[in-house]
Amino acid sequence: MKVDLQLCNPKIPGGCGVGGVADLNGKPSRDIIAMSLEACVRLEHRGGHIADTGDGCGVLLQVCRPFFEQFLPRRLIPDPDSPLVVGTFFFPPGEQTNARGLQPEIDRFFRRCGLKPLMWRKVPIQYKVLGASANQSRPEIWHALLSQGIVPKERLPLVLFQVKNSIEREFRKIYTASLSADTIVYKALATSIQFAELYPDLLDPSMESALCLFHRRYSTNTFSSWELAQVFRYLAQNGEINSIKANRLPLLTFKVNSA
């Protein structure tokens, strides 16, 4: 058996940089996040940009429960055996007229679905590191903290998935980057170098994770936007579906000849 390992075809440009860091024993640590941010910076050559605005960058990591519990009043902290759900929401620009006005409506929606909203947290962001275009289109980014309410724990992932989809249908201008008790997404219309300084949460010593997936986007057939940066919410993937030819040729590089 012979395998042709020609992994580089100069006629098809590379795109996107993606990777992950994980602790094999499942132990959360600060180092996992720090190594992921550094690795993503080293993949900057895989991403695209227009002037000083990158095509997008982001990470998916575990919900660090001790970090988020510090923002909750003691009476609202769920029991240790109960999940703490964290959602990342992109609201249209204009905090006073959009985010704060829509949050009570979303809270009512959560309650109708059996969830218990605990609080909204404005995500701290160092906007000064962003490019001009990214700053002009930047959304208002908030975290929603919830408990499972009356939803059984075994049904919680499915209910959260359904709630995420329903919110985006009912509130057309809102984008849900993540909504889970297990993982959370931080992302931005930025280069990896800008992203590494953008979110103070990711630089906080108390923020820990046992895994971190990172992505630096190279936009090929869509315009860059905050929503399209870091294109995974539950699964990681690299690249876009551009054409039949572009998908066939990588498979043809692995030609297996058997006698």
Provide the 8-state DSSP code for 19: E
Q: Which of 16, 40, 57, 212 is catalytic?
A: 16
Q: Which amino acid would we find at residue 244?
A: I
3-state secondary structure of 142: strand
Strand partners, 184: 61
Concerning whether 16 is annotated as a catalytic residue, the answer is yes
Tell me which residue of 45, 47, 71 sits closest to 58, measured CA to CA. Answer: 47
Label each residue of 40-84 as H, E or C.
HHHCHHHCCEECCEECCEEEEEECCHHHHHCCCCHHHCCCCCCCE
CA pseudo-torsion sign 148, 153, 159, 164: positive
Tell me which residue of 192, 206, 191, 252 sits closest to 39, measured CA to CA. Answer: 192
**Any idea which residues carry the catalytic annotation?**
16
